[in-house]
A and B are shown apart, each in its own frame.
Chain A
Amino acid sequence: MGLYLRPRTIEEAVAALADSRFVVLAGGTDFYPARVGRALDENVVDITAVGALRGIHQDGDVWRIGATTTWRDVLDAPLPPLFDGLKLAAREVGGAQIQNAATVAGNLCNASPAADSVPVLMALDARLELRSAAGTRMLPIADFIRGNRRTAARPDELVSAILVPQRSARAATHFLKLGARRYLVISIAMAAGVIEADTAGRIVAAHIAIGACSEVAQRLPGLEQALLGRYLSDSQDAVEPQHFSALRPIDDVRASAAYRRDGAMTLTRRLLQELAARLVESHRDTA
């Protein structure tokens, strides 16, 4: 039987992690499935009693999603449209039971190629705050997730928050998930995006990310570049196959690699169509 610590403060938590034999536990929705029929004998730091780690707050020009914030918290929180995509992702994570327990940060730390949170947060330019006894550092998500189930977090580090920069009220976000069934399904492909347009309906910022089509979700810089300056109405026409060439989808039990690549393009077109519709709508409202 291992040790089990349930600290009340971040300081206590990181102090414990300074002893690198600990596994961090929050919602448990990845921890237990990896241990079916096996003894539970690791040393564990359960961070769910650290009150300071829970919740979503605006702090200047940054939104701070605490490490133990659950998907349910995201759904229940009154958040600006910037988080529409994240809320859509929240509704697609597992079923209601999982949404009630699982944390957004835990989804990142698990670093599954099919993690539902990653494309949205990548598109939002989110960074992670990592705390340790040695101090605090920030990492963009793309630098944090290093591969399939691999992150840049040192054993003594705790992901304490996800930081999402505030954007103009003209930004819209969206998320699309493709799976072989409704509820409780691991993604075949995902697309997430943030688009901002000027009053003339020209795109001034575009962040598009694709999940489950490479070891780590990826932004599509070529497409983002191609979208800049385009009118919302023809944003879909910017999508070209070469924008997806950096993806490295795999064949597995859920889908073929070719299908994933093809599906990613389709999802991206639909994502842009929806974002354009939404921005046109909101411009009309504000006009």
Chain B
Amino acid sequence: MTPPDAGARQNAAIDGDAAVRFIVNGRPAAVAASPLTRLAQVLRDDLGLTGTKIGCDAGDCGACTVLLDGRQVCACLTPMGQVEGRSVETVEGLRQDGTLSKLQQAFLAHGAAQCGICTPGMLMSASDLLRRTARPSRAEVLDAIGGTLCRCTGYQKIIDAVLAAATSAGVDSPPVGQAVGARAIRVDGIAKVAGTESYGADAIPHDALWLRVVRSPHAHARFALGDLEAVRRAHPGLEQILTARDVPFNGFGIYPDIKDQPVLADGIVRYRGEAVLALVGTREVVMRLADEVLPIVWTMLPPITGVDEARAPGAALVQDDRPGNLLMEGGVRCGDVEAALANAEAVAEIAVETPFVEHAYIEPEAGWARRVGDRLEIHVTTQTPYMDRDEVASVMRLKPQQVRIVPTACGGGFGGKLDLSVQPLVALAAWRLGRPVACIYTRPESMAATTKRHPARIQARFAATVGERLTACDVDAVFDTGAYASWGPTVANRVPVHAMGPYRVPNMRSRGAAYFTHNPPSGAFRGFGVPQAAIAHEAAMDALAEQLGVDRLEFRHRNALRVGDRTATGQVLHHSAGLAACLEALRPRWRDSLRHVAAFNAQARKAATHRRRGIGIGCMWYGIGNTSMSNPSTMRVGLGRDGTLTLYNGAVDIGQGSNTIMIQIAADALGLPMAQFRLVAGDTDRTADAGKTSASRQTFVSGKAAELAGADLRRQILRLANAGTNAALALDAAVLTVSDGETVRRIDLAALAADPDGNVLVGKGTFDPPTTPLDADGQGVPYATYAFAAQTAEVEVDLELGTTKVLRIVAAHDVGRAINPMQVEGQIEGGIAQGLGLALMEEYLPGRTENLHDYLIPTAGDMPLIETILIEDGEPLGPSGAKGVGEPGLVPTAPAILGAIAHATGVRLTRVPVLPHRLRAALQAKPGDRP
């Protein structure tokens, strides 16, 4: 056999005539595979070319894009029989003699890879174009990459990278002391653009058994199991069929006191897609065994399909011990809302409705486990290794120290990988069988089984009085939390705090309540309910501005929270409240756009055409970190005896770039260049707990810990060298040079005693943002700091078809300090794409949109031009003044788009998504000038 790559696996053997012979990346290969086998599977499993990713197996995402005879195709739709004698090029073939191609370099330099799971496919789509057209137009780039989905970047930096590929130059790593603030390339970027990054499905041991989950086809049903042992005996290679009875402690959940979700359902299922059985055996056997063969007798029960049914008097209970199907409620009260409403000059009443939204990360859940003595080791794609460790230990009735989580690269999370998926199942099977066990969710399984954004119903009243001042806000938000609690309490708590929007509102009453239904569990999704609430407060701002006859931006500016103001929870903002600055930055562009839009529409009316333009604005605030709960991070920086400098980083990088900025921060705090850092990431045996990658907390909380760790190591070095605080450090192999003015001291690290990790000095930093609990009226300090932002959106609406094209978004974000402006822009652009999806197309319907062609997320062709303005109103608590930006990018987008549609058409929609038929119906129902 001729392996196409040094990493090729040995089982890709020639098997006489059965072998398919073809060329891979210029070298001959022969693989014994069924001719119907998908090329994607052969590349990954037989040839070890795992740079080709599988996101859907249905041609809907483009992650598996390769070139077949020079043309891009989905390797998941290509039968091996058709590959015979042809040439296949994969991402691994782009790098020649170890040198990245111009296109790969451009991806690095532009920050075009975030999580990186779409990157190989995107590179191949672009390569197809660039070989034919070296200097393509933007439209040609869109046509070339339009079939490849990205959920992280919003496509802007990808498009920029492809356009610049012909001329791209490398980017130098920032020098000592200048890492913070630099547009540094990702420290894990080369692996992502080279296709060598290892995700949940990429490094499964060859001898692993496979686990397939049998899931409920019903939203609510009882079930009885027949003779499973007979099934097992009838299928050689099927090792075990796991049931609820096999799970030591059959309940998990985010909150320590709510472990309500079974690992495997016990006689009753509460949502379509719930796990019922786990088949463990050879991959071939568990994948071939059809659900229909299994002796499961279902008794269907009527499901509770939404919050109205859940709240109805006498409603059946989803969970027996949850009266009224209420998970929990939270609220904030201050001032006298009724009096303020009675005395108001203007009152806006808004009703908002939002659906389930799917995370749609391109990497489905995947991982594997093995038993090592009396310990379990789990390699998995996750946002939260320490919580996974504790949850798996709880389910398995082991001590947390007996479980090791080794996070793989994470191909997108957005909150969806904060809950357990494959972890307890592969752990249980590996523990019982003493063999490695792997599980990869299919796309439909990922969509049916895992958490979603909470559907929301929000009723809001906002009041303003003389002087265009907001005086009152009364918000009631009701959430469908699905069958199990997951992050429902977090949403029900966070939303009331944020419900007033980023404004001074002296009188406020807000309530958030989450109800159980027989829907998929609603969990964490970028913003924890705040994006839904923002639709309400921003619609109210527009309505009040209109009633008062003032400009929408100026009304917001007048009422913006500023330093010195008190929030509805009674917290005084002492620093870093940059909303007014964001609005001031937008103001000139806003006024220009208003003029342009008015001119366009005047022309359109005159010509009696069916297109109208509009501009809208959305503002937001977002508390960084957990709500009124401790959420510490600890970071360590080790200086090795051999001169290696290591950041032990427990904060999982899910694509947003924390690996890079932690090193930027630690490097400057220590005084050595970031290029000298090595990274140990996530592994619970090797890193300290840096908490979850959620709540936009990693830059602020873990970044601060990294800064403290770097500074701590620096202090230790200076003490050792007896040098002053301004001394310069230089590290050359095992010699550390400390220069303090004229005095130069060389420390031979090899001569010092090392700890078991090989480190002679270890700097450590821990940070837990200061907060206080909220009292019965929701009064307290829920967050140590808040991000602020404002975005404007310009849209063009087709009045006859009800379609909306977003033309341009300008995003001004107060991030405290941009540690890496390129990555900050990437977060904002990606957030905007998800906000655009929320506004215009995304709606998950259980059982009906469980794939990526019925569930639509934006493609490259849906994205507007985006201009980002970074406001740096420093937060003294944060590292170099930084706050967080992960979620804020998404929050103002949908409100801005909805406002723009209203501006263009005179119709205000508050039910999202604004699908064309909904907008058209609203336009037809509009009194007066019927389009």
Contact = CB atoms under 8 A, between A and B. Distances in A.
A284 interface: no
A97 B34 contact: no
Given A40-B37, A97-B73, A181-B861, A33 B848 contact: no
Given A1-B34, A95-B146, A180-B915, A36 B56 contact: yes
Q: 3 closest Cβ contacts across the A-B interface?
A: A95-B147, A182-B861, A259-B917
Interface string A233-256: 000000000000000000001111
A110 interface: no
A101 B916 CA distance: 30
Interface string B58-88: 1110100100100111101111011000000
Interface string A1-33: 110101000000000000000000101110111
Of listed A4, A33, A48, residue having the most chain B CB within 10 A: A33
Interface string B120-161: 000001001000000000000011101111000000000000
B73 A37 contact: no
A28 B57 CA distance: 11
Given A96-B125, A100-B71, A181-B862, A46 B144 contact: no
Contacts of B869: none
B370 interface: no
A119 B734 CA distance: 72
Interface in B874-890: none
Nearest to A25: B79
Interface stretch (B372-380, B460-468, B629-637, B795-803): B795-803
Interface residues of A, number: 49
Contact of B801 (A28, A72, A183, A263): A263
A98 interface: yes
Interface of A: 1-2, 4, 6, 25, 27-29, 31-33, 36-41, 44, 46, 48, 72, 91, 94-98, 100-101, 178, 180-186, 188, 253-256, 258-260, 262-263, 266-267
B82 A33 contact: no
Contact of A36 (B144, B444, B862): B444
Considering residues A38, A39, A96, which has the most beta carbons from chain B within 10 angstroms of its beta carbon? A96
B562 interface: no
Interface of B: 34-38, 56-60, 62, 65, 68, 71-74, 76-79, 81-82, 125, 128, 142-144, 146-149, 287-288, 290, 442-445, 800-803, 840-841, 843, 845, 848-849, 851, 853-854, 856, 858-862, 915-917, 920-921
Contacts of B853: 33, 184, 186
B71 A72 contact: yes
Given A259-B920, A263-B801, A253 B34 contact: no
Given A37-B444, A184-B859, A185-B856, 10 more contacts: A25-B36, A33-B60, A40-B37, A95-B859, A97-B62, A100-B68, A182-B142, A183-B859, A259-B916, A267-B801
B35 A46 contact: yes
Nearest to B919: A259
Contact of A96 (B38, B143, B288): B143
Contacts of B79: 25, 28, 46
B59 A97 contact: yes
Contact of B81 (A6, A72, A100, A186): A6
B146 A96 contact: yes
B147 A181 contact: no
Given A6-B35, A182-B859, A182-B862, A32 B77 contact: yes
A100 B607 CA distance: 40
Given A96-B143, A98-B74, A259 B36 contact: no
A37 B59 contact: no
B147 A255 contact: no
Contact of B921 (A38, A40, A256): A256
A96 B77 contact: no
**In this complex, which of A2, A6, A27, A181 has the most chain B Cβ atoms within 10 angstroms of its Cβ?**
A181
